[in-house]
Amino acid sequence: MTKSVLYAGERIDALYANDIKIIQSPQVFSFSLDAVLLAHFAQPIRKAKGLVVDLCAGNGAVALFMAHKTQAHIMAVEIQERLADMAQRSVQLNNLQDQIEVRNADLKDAFNYLTKDTVDTITCNPPYFPLEVESKRNPNEHLALARHEIAVNFAEICQISSGLLKMGGKLYLVHRPDRLPELTTTLVENRLAPKRIQFIHPKPGQEANMVLIEAIKDGKPNGVRVLPAIVAADEAGNYTGIVKELLYGKE
């Protein structure tokens, strides 16, 4: 696949650490650091007979970046047709069509194409902003759906994830720290016990702007581990540490 097959306004970017190429469009959707960190944080089932589902898949970034960590089948679910098409073309670009399946569907209809209690691992980079936050709503329809709880909210994601996961199955999320009390409460209400939490800080001395969460279906209460925080960049804005390694590979 070459640039000649890209749509107008699209480009091919690379995640050098995994040698993954991905089709991007700032007019429609481009993956951000949250997708890279979620794929790194997730510990998907490894065996080939396993099933991994990536909800709110966007242009397929998390599924693509996570593929090297598992032999399991990965289903990437995305409601927007344009983004699902970008994801499918990226899967083909990386010759991963035997492992990754892109499904252009509403995750609220998940039980029409997935069976309850059959999924080993779920990842999700959900919309961060409640619908009532009008001041932050993006005028671009594609970006608005990706960032605001227009098509699905966090409670619905938890309900569906709990229904899909096997007992002991794991859910991995990235979200905003300012919603952490709501996130943990909603997870517990849906039989999803938080087990690992990691905060991401943009620069030294700045407050966290992302939080990564691992939850286990029907896991025992308590026993939450808060991992060492990740500081993404130095004071000049240059990526450092694990973030630099994930984006550009080891030096």
DSSP for residue 15? E
Q: Which residues pair with 226 in a beta bridge?
A: 197
At 47-79, the pLDDT tens digits run 999 999 999 999 999 999 999 999 999 999 999
Pair of tokens at residue 154:
């966090």
Identify which of 239, 155, 171 has the alpha carbon closest to the alpha carbon of residue 204.
239
Domain count, the chain: 1
pLDDT at 22 over 60: yes
pLDDT digits (tens, 9 = 90+) for 114-137: 999 999 999 999 988 787 655 556
Q: Which CATH number does the domain housing residue 167 bear?
A: 3.40.50.150
Domain of 180? 3-248
- pLDDT at res. 136: 59
> Rounded to whole angstroms, how far apart are CA atoms 214 and 42?
8
The DSSP annotation for 121-163 comes to EEEE----B-TT-GGG--SSHHHHHHHBTTS--HHHHHHHHHH
The candidate with the shortest Cα–Cα distance to 72, out of 39, 91, 103, 45, is: 45
Residue 39 CB contacts under 8 Å (≥ 6 apart), including other chains:
61, 62, 65, 66, 69, 123
